[in-house]
Structure 1
Amino acid sequence: MEHIGDIEVVPCSSSKYLRPFRVHYSQNGTKKYWDFMRTHDSVSVLIFNTTSHCFILVKQFRPAVYMCEWERTKPQRSLEEEPKEGPADDVDPPPASAGVTYELCAGLVDKPDLSLEEIARQEVLEECGYDVPVDKLRKITSYRSGVGVTGARQTMFYAEVSDENCVGEGGGKEQEGELIEVIKVPLHEAMNFAYNESLPKTMGVMFSFMWFHNNMASKYKISTSV
């Protein structure tokens, strides 16, 4: 695992990924307000390799997860106290592994000239190294993610691949700072993996594994029990 250091917390005055807002509104005659972030929608892809009967996931360092874990190690403070800005060196930082998560291959919907399927295809190629035709992507569903803060929509797809579809190592775009490790989860271990709390993962991983077991069990002759 790579070393994480030289951490400094600073205000975020502008970002191409998110924008904070406060909305004032009236609900049943009661005036209220809510703070939210405007972000891009996204796509995710559950990838199943039919050659090796395993799921293809990505593993990467997530700064937001890491900082949440770091906050747990700091002395307790009141909710009204502002986070300290500047170098975060008041306590020993947790290991980099504290910020690593297992996820579905995914990406932002930030290319208006491409369909959701085309964006999903690009992400599978860039992150996992598989070349999947657009017509081989099956939409599972779409849902709202982060409803308390963002309300963005994520659309989930399913793709079956074989070793013949593997045309590269994946790993994401290095020029965009992506450092992604491709992970294989054997089919017979998938549900234990999904419920193993020691393996930090997104809800998308858990939901998609359950979807697979509910919808593809007969095709691959698997048990639906955990």
Structure 2
Amino acid sequence: MKPKNITDIKFDKCEDSKYINPIRMIFKDNGKRRVWDIIEVHNSVATLLYHKDKDSFIFVKQFRPAVYLKEHKDSTHQECGYTYELCAGLMDKEKSAKQTAKEEILEECGYDVKLDNINEITEFYTAVGFAGSKQVLFYAIIDDSMKVNNGGGIDDENIEIIFIKKQEVRNFIFDKSYPKTSGAMFAVLWFLENVK
């Protein structure tokens, strides 16, 4: 299936990138020589946003080329390559995880949230078989007074803001017709269990 609004798709070799660096690690494990290919990538942050005025969680919907690559031949999803995620971003600048989260919330979702209102849940590793990058997971409770712009990302980002009602969010995270990240699923379950 073709993704909406995405055209002229082609694949090519990635010979230089500011986002990834392929490395081959050679080591001995219990005396046996092993070779392992790794992709060195930036760490990241992700934030679960709960909008108390709307009694809803905010997710961002965007096209992910890596998901499209894996899905496009036999996907049953109507919008192949699009995922539902937490507001997130790379830690590719000299800023703290919390400051990075604040900036991503503003850029992607349009809410100006004070640093004190951004709370860490935990951190974990992603793609441990080939990348091993760390993600710091946050949550923030927001309201209409914090809205300062429409969000949607910066430069050429094309991010859609999705509101899911709190009473519907458990069904949403387990509905396979909405491709989503494991961090988003974990964060929602954590929030429902721990934030009253």
TM-score by length of 1: 0.83
Conservation of the 8 A alpha-carbon contact between 1:2 and 1:96: no
Residues 87-106 of structure 1 aligned to structure 2 (within 5 Å): 97-106=79-88
Specify the alignment match of 1:167 in structure 2. 148
Q: Within the alignment, does 1:214 sit opposite 2:196 as a pair?
A: no
Specify the alignment match of 1:15 in structure 2. 17
Specify the alignment match of 1:5 in structure 2. 7
Amino acid aligned to 2:125: R
Specify the alignment match of 2:160 in structure 1. 181
Q: CA deviation at 1:134?
A: 0.6
Residues 64-103 of structure 1 aligned to structure 2 (within 5 Å): 64-72=66-74, 97-103=79-85
Q: Within the alignment, does 1:109 sit opposite 2:91 as a pair?
A: yes
Conservation of the 8 A alpha-carbon contact between 1:61 and 1:96: no
Q: CA deviation at 1:162?
A: 0.5
More deviation, 63-72/138-147: 63-72
Query: CA 1:154–1:39 in structure 2 vs 1: closer, same or farther (change >3 Å)?
Result: same
Query: CA 1:116–1:195 in structure 2 vs 1: closer, same or farther (change >3 Å)?
Result: same
Q: Give, in whole Å, the separation in 1 of the partners of 2:150 and 2:112.
A: 11
Q: CA deviation at 1:96?
A: 7.6
Q: CA deviation at 1:66?
A: 0.9
Specify the alignment match of 2:108 in structure 1. 127
- What do you get for the CA RMSD once the two structures are aligned? 1.5
Specify the alignment match of 2:172 in structure 1. 193
Specify the alignment match of 2:44 in structure 1. 42
Q: Give, in whole Å, the separation in 1 of the partners of 2:99 and 2:127.
A: 24
Identity %: 43
SS at match of 1:98: coil
Q: CA deviation at 1:95?
A: 8.4
SS at match of 2:112: coil
Amino acid aligned to 2:7: G
Query: CA 1:138–1:20 in structure 2 vs 1: closer, same or farther (change >3 Å)?
Result: same
Conservation of the 8 A alpha-carbon contact between 1:46 and 1:55: yes
Specify the alignment match of 1:24 in structure 2. 26
Q: Which runs of 5+ in 2 are unaligned?
A: none
Q: Within the alignment, does 1:62 sit opposite 2:64 as a pair?
A: yes
User: Larger Cα Rg: Structure 1 or Structure 2?
Assistant: 1
SS at match of 1:209: helix
SS at match of 2:172: helix
Q: Give, in whole Å, the separation in 1 of the partners of 2:78 and 2:39.
A: 27
Paired residue total: 194
